[in-house]
Amino acid sequence: MALAALTACAGPFQYYEGTGVHDTTAADLAGTWQNAAGAGVLLRQDGTALLEELDGQDFDFDDGWRLSGTGTWQLTDRRGGQVVRLALTARTGVERRSPAPTATASPPPPPAAYVWSLHVGRDRQGGVGLFFFTGDPDAGDTYVLTRAVPGP
């Protein structure tokens, strides 16, 4: 009975082992990445980054803040696949996602510095994409960043 209670809380994140991608280089990831909601990240080849209105990861997503600023990034290779460690080191702006999430009456203040773990994945055509989990990690909801298409 106790085992059933423990496994009832197990969602997809508890068993998530990564994308299995191990062949992406930092040069492949350098450039501008965007989310459908308008957030963006510029990953520069020198390891610095520019972030624009990026939402929080995991349960922090529920607080509704979106951070802008500068920071660093590094591609790491783990057993389950590659991950970009994106660190906001100098916050230049805070926005609130609209509509505001239904959180507590007074959510905690947005952090001055923050670190995301962006999983490196591939689409069916072999194109690279980045994502992280939002809300309850066991739900498996993802926040997807795709390569920005250059303007005309």
Q: What pLDDT score was predicted for residue 89?
A: 98
Q: Which residues of 79-107 are buried (b: 16+ CB within 10 A; e: fewer)?
A: eebbbbebebeebeeebebeeeeeeeeee
* Burial class of residue 65, CB neighbours in 10 A (0-12, 13-18, 19+): buried
Q: What pLDDT score was predicted for residue 137?
A: 78
Q: What pLDDT score was predicted for residue 88?
A: 98
Q: 125-135 pLDDT, tens per residue?
A: 999 999 999 99
Q: What pLDDT score was predicted for residue 138?
A: 82
Beta-carbon-side half-sphere exposure of residue 109 (alpha carbons within 13 Å):
4
Q: What pLDDT score was predicted for residue 129?
A: 95
Q: What pLDDT score was predicted for residue 103?
A: 52
Q: What pLDDT score was predicted for residue 100?
A: 59
Q: Which residues of the chain have pLDDT under 70?
A: 1-15, 99-105, 150-152
In the chain, DSSP finds a helix count (H) and a strand count (E) of 2, 8
